[in-house]
Amino acid sequence: MVDVAEKPSTRRVAVASGILRMQPATLARIRTGSIAKGDVLTVADVGAVMAAKRTADLIPMCHFLALTGVEVKFSEIEEPDESGCVGIKVVTSASCVGQTGVEMEALCAASVALLTIYDMCKAIDRGMRIEHIQLEEKRGGKSGVWLREEPGASKRIGET
């Protein structure tokens, strides 16, 4: 693990996202609250927050961070892809004041949110697929601000 003791504490924010593709009927059942295991998006929200808080327990070289906030937002993707699947997109944000960034916390939150939805819906749609889990933005620390630019490119835009 990298020693960050000499680094100054700064406000750190990271935003991550991901998509879960599914059959239109599965999305309709999530929307109407008719999944047997319960309110899918509420449970996925809680799972995401729990994952962000426990990232250091899951990723071997991550530092334990005292998070100051975790936000989780879901949106529907109603336009079918080439295979006829629709989806749910999650965007997570993690923040802290610390000596190292919160990228892994945001990514872990997005991953577990999507895995939770999969778990709750797998009995009716085993063909769901998780796509595009990625860092969208990070702010703070020596490297400053980084934003994802599409398609697949990135750009460091300065220091904060």
Dist CA 73 CA 110 (whole Å)? 10
Tokens of residue 88, six digits = 């749910």
Dist CA 25 CA 76 (whole Å)? 13
CA distances from 76 to 52, 62, 67, 157 (A): 22, 32, 28, 30
Q: Is the peptide bond before 80 cis (omega within 30 degrees of 0)?
A: no
Q: Count of CB atoms within 10 A of residue 61's CB?
A: 8
Active-site residues, by number, are 119
Instruction: Report which of 91, 138, 83 is spatially closest to residue 114, judged by C-alpha positions.
Output: 91
